[in-house]
Amino acid sequence: MYGVGRTLRLAVEKSGSERRQYSRFLVGGRAKGRVTAVYEASLLDLSLGGALIEHVHIVRPGTTSYLILRMKGRDVNLRCRIIRSSVHRVQVESDGGRALVFQTGLQFVDRSDATMQMISDYIMSTVGTIDPPLTRP
């Protein structure tokens, strides 16, 4: 029963109104958690060290997230730190409403050699189909 006492389990079962499969216990805010969500984003540029994405949801610089890229026919989860995020433009939605569009700079963290190679291969395979690398004057 995963460390939950039999007495508590039986009390919940006898109540009849409880629909949960597992008992819940009040912890009074003594534990902290984090909720993550998946938002759609457009990949603007990519390097071995990070990426620039565009999206319509607020993210906080300094937090850690995951960028899920489709490479070689499979999803690759890249753990990243949000370095910066700012409003880039206002977008008019199909219903006439407006949405803020953010550009966010990501830095990859905890990259394995295999992941680095996969990113490198992906970049090399798209060089002929995308704009050349950005250079500073």
Q: How many helices (H) and strands (E) does the chain have?
A: 2, 5
Range of the structural domain that residue 48 is part of: 42-125
Would you say residue 35 lies in a domain?
A: no
The reply to whether 17 falls in a domain is no
The string of DSSP codes covering 52-110 is EEEESS---TT-EEEEEEEETTEEEEEEEEEEEEEEEEEEE-TTS-EEEEEEEEEEE-S
pTM as predicted: 0.66
Q: What is the pLDDT of residue 24?
A: 74
Q: What pLDDT is attached to residue 108? A: 94
61, part of any domain: yes
User: Does residue 131 lie within any of the structural domains?
Assistant: no
- Domain-embedded: residue 136: no
- pLDDT at res. 119: 87
pLDDT means per 10 residues in the chain (137 residues)? 43 52 74 73 91 92 90 86 94 91 94 87 73 52
Residue 47 within a domain: yes
pLDDT per residue as tens digits for the range 50-77? 999 999 998 999 999 999 888 878 888 8
pLDDT at 84: 95
Whether 67 is covered by a domain: the verdict is: yes
Amino acid at 136: R
Residue at 57 is within a domain: yes
CATH number for the domain that contains residue 85:
2.40.10.220
Number of domains in the chain: 1
Could you tell me if 70 and 103 are in contact, meaning their C-beta atoms sit under 8 angstroms apart? Answer: no
